Structure 1
C-alpha cells in the first residue's frame, strides 16, 4: 500500500483529510432552567461530562438526570439520535461516548451527528479517542479550557473509505465488546455475592444445622449493643477480624523496578481503581498481594473497594487505600463482602473527617475500633468457600480486561493512522484503487 504526506501526517493514499463539519453536523447542548420543576425528571436522558467520568462502555443510555419535552423546548439542548458521537468540550475535554438511544446533553459537549454516507459513527468514536490530546491542545481559555464549535467544526482528521472505517471499527469494537461483557459478568457476580451476604449476615437467614433459614425458622435472637443478633454471635471490634498492612516502598529503594500498580484518582468521584501495567514508582506505595482487600480512604460516601487478584509479586497500590488483611485463614471472601456491604460503607462515611467532598478521609487505624457483629468462624469460612469461586472469576476477568485494554490501546493509534492496515476483500480493494 502506498502512503502520502498530509496535514495530519503520513496516511494511505486513498484516505482523505476532512474537517469534522464535512462528515457530520456539530451540535452543542444546553441546560434547562434548574429552578423550573416542569423542565426536569422527564423521560429524556440528559448527559453531562460528569456522567462520563469513569464511564468505560462505548454506548451511554442515561445520566444522573432526565429532562422533559418542555425543558428541551425551552433550552438550547437538542434531541440527539442514536449513534451520535458525544465529545466533551470542557470540564474536562475529551470524554467520548456514543448515544445508545435518543438523548440530550448539556453545553459541555460538541457532538457529531454523522453523515452515514461519509462517516461510520463507531469509527469516529475511536478516531476522536485517538485525537483527544490534539483537540485539547488547541482549546481556548486560560483558567478553564474549552473547545469552541468553530474549532471543532474546522478540526481536520484522516478519513478512510466507509468500508475501511467499518473494518477498523470492528476490530477495536470486538475488543471492547469482550471487555464490556466481562464487566457485566463481574457486576452480576458481585450482586449475587452481596445478596448472599445480606441474606446470611444482615437478615440472619444463614442455614441452621438443618439447612433451614435461621431467623425465619425460629432461630433464637439475643440483644446486643448493635441490636438483635443470633445467639452465639458476638459484638467486637473490626480489629478482631482484620489487620492493616502498612508495608511500603519508596522510589529511591527501587529506582529501576517496575510494578503492577493499583491506583485510584484522588478527586474523581465514582472511579474504580485502575491497574496500570509497568508503573515506575514515583511516590511511596503500599506493597500488596492477593490476600488483601483495598478500601479507599477518600470520598467514603462513594463506595470504593477493591480486592486485588494479582499474578505477580510486584504489585503496589496508592497510599490513599487502607490495606486490610484477614486475621484468620479462609475468610478473605467474607472480609471482602463485609467491607463491601452498605452497612460498613455507612460507618466509613459517618467517621470521615476533613472538609466536605473529595478531601474527606477515613483514618485507617481508627477503623479497627469500629464495633461490628462477629459471626462464628465456621460460618464465615462456610460463606467464603461458596463465594471464593465468584471472586476468582471476577479477578480473572479483570486481568483479561487489562490485557484487552492494552492491546486495544496499542492498536488504536496504529489503525487510525493507517500504519496497520485492515485486510479487505479484493472487490473493496479494486474499488479503492
Structure 2
C-alpha cells in the first residue's frame, strides 16, 4: 500500500499526521452516545424477556467482533423501568468500566447495562470506528476516572478524538481491514490449533507412559482399578500413601499481589500449579508485619498439590526442582515428600487422566465452585508403579519429549504474537491514514479465506 501524498499535523502523538483531506473529529460528531442501565433485580417481571442486555462480561467473553446475544435478557417493562434505551443493529457496544475498552458491533437491536455505552452511527461508519477503537484501548483507559475502578464518562467518550475521512473512504478502509484481518486471523487460528494439539499430545504421552510404559510389547494385566485399566504385568498397583513420607502445608498471610524480589519473602499462589510445571514466579510478596507467620518453606524435589480449588483445578500439581530459599506455601497448597519411588514419576502420574478421574470422585465442598480434597482421600488414590529403573527411564523420556514439545509450543506462541502485532499495526496504519487504500480491491480468484472475508464485507456493506 502506498502512503497518502499530502499529510497534515495533529496535536495527538498517538494518532500522528493524517491525510490532508481528513478531519480530526470527536465521537459526539459522528455517533450518538447512549448510556445503559439495570432494572431492579428484585422484580421478576423485569427479567428473562426477549431483549438482549449487554454487560462488560458479555463483551469480554466474545471470540469475534460481533455481539448478538447476552447472558441475561430483560423484558420491555424492565427496559422502561430503568431508562435504558434500545440501540439499533450496527451500533458499537463499548465497555466503559471493569474493563474499559472491550467492544463489539451489535448484530441486532439491544440495550446495555451501565457498564457499557453504545455508539450509534450518525455520520460515522460503524466498522471503521470499531477498528479505530480497537487500537485505542490505552487512550480510552487514560481518560478513565475512579478509585475503586476506572470508568469512562459519557463526556469523556463524547470528546474522544476520531480521525474522520470522508464516509466512502471510511467504508473502503473497513472493507480492506475486514478482508486483510480475516486472512491474518486464519493464520493465528492455525497456530492456536497447533498449540492445542501439542497440549493434547503431551496429555496423551503422559497418560500412556504412566499406565503402559515404554515397551509396546510388554505383557499386560488387569490393574483391578477402573481408571487405570490394563498395566504391564510386572508393575505394582498401590495407593499413593505407600510412597508419601510427609505432607506439609503453609499459612495464609497478608501479601502484596506482586512477586517477591531478592531480600523479600514470598508465598506461592495456587496458580503456581496450573500447568505441567511449577511456576515459582506465581507468588505474592509477604508484608513485613506478617513475615514471622510464614511456614513450610518450598524445598527441592517436592510434589506441590492444590488441596482446595475449583472443580477443574482441585488436585492440580507442580514439582519443585530447586529450593528458592525465600518462598513459602499457603494453607491451600500441600508440599509432599516422597520416598521409595522416583518422585517425578509420581508427578507425571498426577498429570494423567487416570489421576484426574480419581480426584473428581473424592473432591467435595459446600460450594460447587470451590472443592477440596481430604488428605486421606488423596493418599488413597491408586497408581501403577514400575521398577525404579523403569521409572527413571520413563521420566528421562518424558523430559526429552517435553523439551521438544516446549520448543514447538514456543515457536507457535511467538508466531501468534507476531501475527497479532502485524494485525494491530495494519489496523493502526489504515485508520490513522498512514496507508492509502482508496484504490484497493480484493484480488481476483480469492481462495476460501478471502471468500470468508468477503462474506463479512457483504454483511456490512451489501
Which of 117, 124, 140 is 1:118 aligned to?
A: 124
Q: Which consecutive residues of structure 2, in runs of 5 or more, have no partner in the other structure? A: 245-258, 264-268, 276-280, 287-302, 319-328, 442-462
Residue 128 of structure 2 is aligned to residue 137 of structure 1: no
Structure 2 vs 1, CA of residues 296 and 17 (structure 1 numbering), >3 Å: closer, same or farther?
A: farther
The equivalent of 1:39 in structure 2 is 46
Which of 401, 420, 431 is 2:416 aligned to?
A: 401
Give the distance between the partners of 1:228 and 1:192, measured in 2 at CA. 19
Which of 155, 164, 167 is 2:160 aligned to?
A: 155
* Counterparts of residues 45-124 of structure 1 (less than 5 Å): 45-53=52-60, 57-63=64-70, 65-70=71-76, 72-75=78-81, 76-99=83-106, 103-115=110-122, 118-121=124-127, 123-124=128-129
Paired residues, number: 368
Contact 2:27–2:161 (CA under 8 A) maintained in structure 1: yes
Structure 2 vs 1, CA of residues 393 and 221 (structure 1 numbering), >3 Å: closer, same or farther?
A: same
Q: What does the per-residue CA deviation read over 1:365-422, in whole Å, with 9 as the maximum and x for residues that have no partner?
A: x8996542324669xx8xx9xx99999987765443223223334445444433x415
Shift of 1:110: 1.1
SS in 2 for 1:408: helix
Shift of 1:234: 3.5
Q: Which has the higher contact order (CA 8 A, sep 6+)?
A: 2
Give the distance between the partners of 1:104 and 1:337, measured in 2 at CA. 46
Shift of 1:158: 0.9
CA-based RMSD: 6.4
Give the distance between the partners of 1:119 and 1:88, measured in 2 at CA. 19
Q: What does the per-residue CA deviation read over 1:266-288, in whole Å, with 9 as the maximum and x for residues that have no partner?
A: 8xxxx99xxxxxx9xx999xxxx
Q: What does the per-residue CA deviation read over 1:309-348, in whole Å, with 9 as the maximum and x for residues that have no partner?
A: xxxxxxxxxx999999x96889998754549957647978
Shift of 1:108: 0.3
Structure 2 vs 1, CA of residues 145 and 5 (structure 1 numbering), >3 Å: closer, same or farther?
A: same
The equivalent of 1:421 in structure 2 is 435
SS in 2 for 1:134: helix
* Counterparts of residues 294-333 of structure 1 (less than 5 Å): 300=310, 303=313
Residue 382 of structure 2 is aligned to residue 373 of structure 1: yes
Shift of 1:94: 2.0
Contact 2:27–2:159 (CA under 8 A) maintained in structure 1: yes
**Which structure has the larger Rg over C-alpha atoms?**
2
Give the distance between the partners of 2:46 and 2:242, measured in 1 at CA. 47
Give the distance between the partners of 2:384 and 2:49, measured in 1 at CA. 46
Give the distance between the partners of 1:421 and 1:90, measured in 2 at CA. 33
Give the distance between the partners of 1:338 and 1:425, measured in 2 at CA. 56
